[in-house]
Structure 1
Amino acid sequence: MKVDIYKSATSSNKYISVRAGADVSKVDVSDPDYAKLIHQTSDVEVNKEDRHQDYDASLIIKDIEQHGYHLHHVKRNFN
Structure 2
Amino acid sequence: MKVDIYKSATSSNKYISVRAGDDVAKVQTSDPDFAKLVHQNSDVEVTQGEHHAGYNADLIIRDIEQHGYHLHHVKRNFS
Q: Same fold (TM over 0.5)?
A: yes
Instruction: Tell me, in whole angstroms, the C-alpha distance in 1 between the residues paired with 2:7 and 2:29.
Output: 13
Quote the Cα distance in structure 1 between the aligned partners of 2:35 and 2:65.
Answer: 21
Over the matched positions of the two proteins, sequence identity in percent amounts to 77
**Alignment length (residue pairs):** 79
Correspondence list, 1:1-79, <5 A: 1-79=1-79
Runs of 4+ in 1 over 2 A off after TM superposition: none
Residue-by-residue CA offset, 1:6-65 (whole Å, 9 max, x unaligned) = 000000000000000000000001100000000000000000121101100000000000
Q: Structure 1 unaligned segments of length 5 or more: list them.
A: none
- 1:13 corresponds to which letter in structure 2? N
Hey, which of these two has a bigger chunk of strand by percent?
2
Aligned residue for 2:51, secondary structure, equals coil
Matches of 1:68 and 1:19 in 2, distance apart?
7
Which amino acid counterpart does residue 8 of structure 2 have in structure 1?
S
TM superposition score normalised by structure 2: 0.98
Aligned-residue CA RMSD (Å): 0.5
Distance 2:31 2:21 in 1: 22
TM-score by length of 1: 0.98
What letter is aligned with 1:38?
A: V
Which ranges in structure 2 are unaligned for 5 or more consecutive residues? none
